[in-house]
Chain A
Amino acid sequence: MHKTLVSQVSPEALAEMRRTERRQQINAAIRYAILIACGFAMIYPLLWLVGASFKSNREIFTEIGFLPLAPTFEGYVEGWKTSTEYTFGRFFLNTFVILIPKVLATAFSSVLVAYGFARFEFPGKKLLFAVLIGTLLLPNVVTRIPQYLLFRELGWLDSYLPLWVPQLFAVDAFFVFMLIQFLRGIPRDMEEAAMIDGCRPTQVLIHIVIPILKPAIISVCLFQFMWSMNDFLGPLIYISSVEKYPIALALKMSISVTESFEWNRILSMTVLALVPSLVVFFLAQKYFIEGISTTGLKG
């Protein structure tokens, strides 16, 4: 039976099948070529950066390859000392002192608010939700000056309070929105069963909703971590004394001070500045991809 089928296929049809197969292989090859070329262009700056951070200044200006010919730690050693009285370690510490409370406050407030929006009915909910969506699109630039004046009135300038406190009030609508979307996809059966058993909503939140929300909460923390690592304008406006600088400000300061020819110091510190984000990203990649695919957050 099988044999007869094959013998019935005409030679032209066979040739056609081979052509199709060949065309598909060529197409796949072209696609890979495009992907690899683009991928290389994407990753090259980072590879070059890491390589250059181990080069001497002279080599940075003369060699193209990203592997250093004569690897040296000079950039790291000298760069770490910085041109200030503090080491770069101080700026790392400051960064985390800003970041950790900020991330925790974001997660805490966003979960409460998202739970309220996703599960309860209350007067004005529709309007408030519309406002929430609207603020997703509101450019920060328009609120920044009065915010600065407000924190100035409160005497919070040159402290971390302007960076921390707003996060207690779920000011990043993105995170609330993301958690609401996630909660909407989860059936309420478990929560309702718990309530019939006499649990109060707060207990339900702590014992049922938060455990279910865990992946989404992790995504919130990760995105807030990345954005806060990248945040420059906030510290630039609010922090004025060098001892309180986070990495972002310290790097900016170093390019203004050691501009001339100490490239490898700056590039070494640039590498270090990227390490926390890269480590976190690779440890938790799937949360990023899921977070961004389900709600379409900015990256």
Chain B
Amino acid sequence: MYENRLLGFTYVTPYVIGLLVFTAFPFLASLGLSFTEYNLIDPPYWVGLDNFEYMFFKDRVFWKSLSVTLLYVFMTVPLKLVFALYIAHILNFRLKGINLFRTAYYVPSILGGSVAIAVLWRYMFADYGVINLILGAVGIDPVPWFGQPGWALFTITLLRLWQFGSAMVIFLAALQNVPQSLYEAALIDGANKWQAFLKITVPLITPVIFFNFIMQLVQAFQEFNGPYIITGGGPLKATYLLPLYVYDAAFRDFEMGYGAALAWVLFTIVMVFTIIAFVTSKYWVFYSGDKRS
């Protein structure tokens, strides 16, 4: 019925145009730009590998930004996934009021990326903010949430953890598809609940764990709103994630070439991690009907 090839292609034409104009061309153009110096006034000037040479050998801000970014990603992604899976596991016990809890956990992930929530975070964790008031009430000294490099990164991390709800909803949907009979069979065979969870449930949902992992990874590497609004990248560049550096280079200092070079380095890092995840996935991700076990 749908044999009209031309018509089929007509329907996807908007996507093809969008792909070429707004994705493929900019993607390649930014690689090209990364070998130039371009300040928007003079035409782009070819400088070869100068941008990268400066970045890797002279730019201490880049190395600081890179290490902060990696630290941030390695803290947020595993913590968020483990927490999301744990809460989904508890919700999966078919308790009463499960929908209420699911909603309460999900709302922050819907709102969490907004400027409004970043502003809220900034005021809650301020020196005289409510968090320090609460700590004071139980006799704990105020914490310099944004004043000290270590704490500042932690506070930004907390904002991301607070948004674990979307990953949790995906986990919960997967857990609800795990046949209860398998689980009960394991219990009868003498496994305790923890073993049954690790040996039966977790392997069965590895495709979803993998999916969530990739998504969280790609998103965490691109975090911008939180640190930009809450800390502005400070103190001492402790929350100066690479997307902030790209923004500053390109849209504050108008160094388009250097910004593009930074963006391509960030892209390459994300790609490397994604490829590693995909390559190793065959050892730990199991699809139903898979012969290996």
Contacts and interface: CB of A to CB of B under 8 A. Distances in A.
A201 B243 CA distance: 44
A46 B162 CA distance: 12
A270 B116 contact: yes
B11 A113 contact: yes
B256 A145 contact: yes
A152 B254 CA distance: 13
Nearest to A143: B26
A3 B219 CA distance: 63
A137 to B, nearest CB: 6
Contacts of B229: 232, 252, 255
A32 interface: yes
Given A116-B11, A248-B114, A289 B108 contact: no
A241 interface: no
Interface in B209-238: 211-212, 214-215, 218-219, 221-222, 224-225, 228-229
* Interface size, B (range): 35 or more
Interface in B15-70: 15-19, 21-23, 25-27, 29-30, 33, 40
Interface residues of A, number: 94
Contacts, number: 272
A233 B215 contact: no
B8 A171 contact: no
**Residue with the greatest number of chain A CB neighbours at <10 A, chosen from B6, B33, B119, B163:** B119
A32 B117 CA distance: 27
Interface in A257-299: 263, 266-267, 270, 273-274, 277-278, 281, 285, 288-289, 292-294, 296-299
Given A138-B23, A229-B114, A255 B119 contact: yes
B191 interface: no
A46 B106 CA distance: 13
A106 B163 CA distance: 25
Contacts of A138: 23, 27, 267
Contacts of A233: 224-225, 247
Interface string A21-64: 00000001001101100110011011011001000000011111
A176 B15 contact: yes
**Residue with the greatest number of chain B CB neighbours at <10 A, chosen from A145, A236, A296:** A145
Contacts of B8: 116, 119-122, 125
A171 B165 contact: no
Given A113-B14, A142-B27, A131 B134 contact: no
Contacts of B133: 61-64
Interface of B is mostly: helix
Given A142-B264, A296-B211, A150 B26 contact: yes
B114 A147 contact: no
A274 B111 CA distance: 7
B251 interface: yes
B263 A145 contact: yes
B2 interface: yes
Nearest to B115: A248
Contacts of A69: none
A11 interface: no
B142 interface: no
